[in-house]
């Protein structure tokens, strides 16, 4: 494994929320991170869809970790702001949040995120995010 993958894995494993949600790292590359989330009734809202809070959490983390792959040595990242659009209900067997770096600066990184819902062979984009991530010195 690469240093970047090890760094992201160690940070991801230290997050209590991702563990609570049942999320797992699916891909780590420079400038892109994917996080998989299996459907769980425990994450559903009153209509049986996965709750927007769970979807937002995994795509925010995917964007943050994508930014961390580009952060200078000795820095961590935190989210400064994000905007999310939900385009359809979170219905599926599993979900994949994809975070990609659009622009990495010295202090700020702008990322785009998408969440894909998988139901058998059908894949639909259910949410889109734009996030601003801040590099903070350890």
- Residue showing tokens 């590099």: 135
* pLDDT computed for residue 2 by the predictor: 79
Please state the φ and ψ torsions of residue 126, each to the nearest 5 degrees: -110, -20
Q: Which of 45, 44, 57, 53 is nearest to 16 (CA)?
A: 57
Instruction: Provide the pLDDT for residue 138.
Output: 85
pTM of the model: 0.97
Question: DSSP alpha helices (H): ranges in the chain?
Answer: 3-13, 16-21, 52-68
Q: What angle do CA 8, 95, 100 make, to 5 degrees?
A: 45
Q: What percent of the chain has a predicted confidence (pLDDT) above 90?
A: 97
């Amino acid at each position: 494994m690469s240093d970047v993958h090890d760094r992201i894995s160690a940070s991801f494993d230290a997050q209590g929320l991702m563990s609570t949600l049942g999320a797992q790292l699916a891909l780590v590359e420079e400038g892109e991170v994917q996080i998989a989330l299996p459907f769980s009734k425990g994450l559903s809202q009153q209509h049986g869809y996965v709750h927007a809070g769970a979807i937002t959490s995994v795509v925010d983390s995917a964007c943050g970790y994508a930014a961390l792959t580009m952060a200078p040595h000795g820095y961590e990242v935190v989210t400064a702001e994000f905007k999310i659009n939900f385009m359809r209900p979170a219905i599926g067997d599993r979900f994949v949040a994809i975070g990609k770096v659009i622009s990495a600066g010295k202090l700020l990184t702008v990322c785009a995120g998408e969440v894909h819902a998988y139901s058998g062979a059908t894949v639909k984009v259910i949410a889109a995010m734009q996030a601003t991530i801040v590099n903070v010195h350890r």
